[in-house]
Amino acid sequence: MIGRRTNHFDVLESTNTHAASFAGDPANHGLVITADAQTAGRGQYDRTWSVPPGSSILMSVLLFPPVELRQPAILTAWAAVSVYETIRAASGLQATIKWPNDVLIGGKKVCGILCEAGAQHVVAGIGLNVNQSTGDFERLGLPGATSLAIEAGSPFDVPSLTKQLIQQFDNCYQRLVQGDIASLEAAWRSRIGLLGQSVVVERMDGGETEGYLIDLRFAGVRIAMAAGGSESTAPEAIRHLRGADAR
Ligand code: BTN
């Protein structure tokens, strides 16, 4: 069960690093590490993740997934859809998922997800902006970021939101281990919301292709080209999937 054991800290270097230190023993599956602050929080592409102490959820979940779930797209979708559902239940706010693993509200980033995998384990790290002000993001030079409090117009209780998020993670994970991957895939597809639209697939190898998004699955992202024909790309080979008119 996710959250059977949770350890909270005032400050850690990185909740992901701390969670990974328990990865030697599969009995630690479901361990949740949270902190009020991090001295070396990590983001995607070797970026740092900095937030004012106590302003947000800084959480890492240690998983030992069965082999059928050990696909980065599935576990990233599990984290992103769980965050999306928690935001909706706690605030009524409507978020979207931006490929591969950001959660946005009104086009601004409210949550970043960093999944780091070892031979048998995965650490899913979540940074959910809760009570930061617009001034906080201005000081950090992050004009594209937002928080739940900014969007809702009132603050949230971080510990109770943390409990809701852990519950959502567990519910969603239980469905996956029972074999229901299709529900998560459908939720992920609809929260990304680009189906039928003109999109650009930016690949890890630096290439990009433009076309109409005709299918979005963990097995492949299929686009139809204007010149005819279609092309499917594995999610792991895609750096960004964006609307053709978005940058
Ligand atoms: C991103 O760049 O969008 C991903 C950010 C992930 C940040 C979270 S905060 C909790 C966990 N611990 C870390 O060091 N990083 C993740």
Residue nearest to atom 10 of ligand 1 (CA): 58
User: pTM (2 decimals)?
Assistant: 0.96
- The model's pLDDT over 34-49, given as tens digits with 9 standing for 90+, comes to 999 999 999 998 899 9
Regions of the chain where pLDDT drops below 70: 247
pLDDT for the residue 247: 62
* H helical segments located in the chain: 15-20, 72-91, 134-139, 148-152, 158-177, 182-192
Task: Tell me if 84 sits within 8 A of 76, measured CB to CB.
Answer: no
pLDDT at 164: 98
* Cα-to-centroid distance, 49 and ligand 1 (Å): 6
d(CA 34, CA 7): 6
| Cis peptide, bond prior to residue 72, ω within 30 of zero | no
Mark out the alpha helices in 101-153 (DSSP H runs).
134-139, 148-152
Q: What is the pLDDT of residue 226?
A: 86
Residues linked to residue 104 through DSSP beta bridges, in sequence order: 96, 109
Residue from 102, 114, 239 whose mutation best tests the ligand 1 pocket (most atoms within 8 A of CB) = 114
Ligand 1 atom showing the smallest separation from residue 58 Cα: 10
Instruction: Give the binding-site residues of ligand 1, using a 6 Å CB cut-off.
Output: 14-16, 38, 41-44, 47, 49, 58-60, 102, 112-114, 125-127
Cα–ligand 1 centroid distance for 91 (angstroms) = 22
Residues 6+ away with beta carbon under 8 Å from 27: none
- Probe ligand 1: pick from 49, 99, 116, 240, max atoms within 8 Å of CB? 49
Smallest CA-to-CA distance from 235 within 66, 77, 115 is with 77
Yes or no: say if 110 and 221 are a contact pair by the CB < 8 Å rule. Answer: no
198-203, strands of its sheet edge to edge: 230-233, 220-224, 208-217, 198-203, 238-243
Which ligand 1 atom sits closest to the C-alpha of 15? Answer: 12
- Pull the structure tokens for residue 6: 């949770």
Contact 166, 148 (CB under 8 A): no
In the numeric block, which tokens belong to residue 123? 């650490």
Instruction: Please report the atom of ligand 1 found closest to the CA of residue 111.
Output: 3
Tokens of 217: 């699955």
- Ligand 1 geometric centre to CA of 1 (Å): 22
Model confidence pLDDT, tens digit, residues 56-103 = 999 999 999 999 999 999 999 999 999 999 999 999 999 999 998 899
Give the nearest ligand 1 atom to 47 CA: 2
Q: Does residue 196 contact residue 213 with C-beta atoms inside 8 Å? A: yes
